Amino acid sequence: MAYKFVNAHVFTGTDWLPGSSVKISDDRITEIIPASSIDTTDADTPVIDFNGDYLIPGLIDLQLYGGSDLFLNDQPTPETVRHIYASHARNGTTTLLPTIHSTSLDIMRESMAAVQVVRTENPLGVPGIHIEGPYFNPIKRGAHSTAYVRTPAEGELETLFSTDADVIRILTLAPEILTPAQLATINTLKHSNTLLSLGHSNATYQQATAAFNEGIPLATHLYNAMRGYESREPGVVGAVFDHPTVRASIIADSYHCNPTTIRIAYRLLGERLFLISDALFANPPRPTFELGQFVVHYEPDTNGPGRYVNNEGNLAGSAITLIDCVKIAVEQAGIPLTSALRMASVIPAEIINLGDQLGKIQPGYVANLVRLDQSLRVKGVWTSGQLFA
């Protein structure tokens, strides 16, 4: 299938090209040209007039848990993974890492196997899984269940990495609760594509900085479930701000982070900051959910998208998709649209080592594309060059 998108305000991932046109052939972008140069008389190639709407790269979300109805921890099956993808793809997220929160080793392995099946079907849509926990500091467990937050049992790490290890793209952990031998085991057994991320951590500034210097390149949901910044102890937040290379995700839903703190983080980190939705459910949000000790309910908000809290009153996740994070970053935090879109496309693509195929509108890139109106509402989504229904 070939398409010609005309009269689009194209965001290439770097620059804006007003009044431009984009050619797609099969699953790839083949050309970006001025609108006046494109031949619209070719009856064999459908032409779609954007009438000045935005055309942006498909968004990339590296942390989310569920779709409209299903939740990976609860039903770790390929069908759940496909449901999660479809729920978010219709909102412009064309690449994602299904995420599981702290759970048993059996559920971790079942989830990995389920994602592996879908990755085989859709390698650039679901390139892997994000395992968030269970190796957390219980002081900073947040909404994660006390039944599962733990240090690894004898032989657990060897079992975890024994099959489907290559499907783990991000593993979030608190390094201060692991022994040097356990960290060495993780680094020895994990696949080269697996990135470690510091999160749910009560590490001191010195401990966090040492972890970053020793090869942990990411920090999970900045500010949340990590030791905060204090004048006498800069903590994990201070270590993230002070480190020259570590990259941090942030949940721009206006609940997990005040918009001012999002703006401050952007000013300090720049291209080292990226957006995640942290979505438990989306479109529309599921009102309640129970999974063992993990019990959450949705709290609507007339001034915002609403949120999920657990039975202890702790924030347990968002009820949005990544395009909502972009809008909040722009409209409430004052981040330029160009930067907010990069934080949701270019930067996460680079993090998972797919920046040469995803996150940009350039010849040769996969035709994962989103049409937005001037209010940033999604009006069309294409995955691998096909209109996503």
Q: Which two tokens stand for residue 313?
A: 């009153």
What is the DSSP code (8-state) at residue 366?
A: B
Q: Which two tokens stand for residue 65?
A: 């848990």
The strand pairing partners of 289, in sequence order, are: 296
Token pair 């982070």 is at which residue?
257
Comparing C-alpha atoms, which of 93, 74, 31, 86 is closest to residue 324? 93
Q: Which two tokens stand for residue 140?
A: 């900073």
Question: One of 53, 164, 278, 324 is an active-site residue; which one?
Answer: 278
Contact status, residue 170 vs residue 139, Cβ threshold 8 Å: no
Q: Are strands 93-100 and 59-64 parallel, antiparallel or unpaired?
A: parallel
User: Crossing angle of helices 235-242/205-213, nearest 10°?
Assistant: 40
Quickly count: other Cβ atoms within 10 Å of residue 100's Cβ.
24
For the question of residue 39 being annotated catalytic, the response is: no
Q: Which two tokens stand for residue 23?
A: 């050619």
Q: How is the chain split among helix, strand and coil, in percent rounded to 5?
A: 30, 30, 45
Q: Among positive and negative, which fits the CA dihedral 22, 386, 77, 253?
A: positive
Q: Which two tokens stand for residue 6?
A: 């005309």
Angle (nearest 5°) at CA 218 between 204 and 114? 125
Quick one: CA torsion of 318, 321, 324, 325, rounded to 10 degrees?
A: 70
Token pair 């010849």 is at which residue?
363
Distance in angstroms (rounded) separating the CA atoms of residues 99 and 112: 10
Q: Which two tokens stand for residue 250?
A: 């942030």
The catalytic residue positions are 278
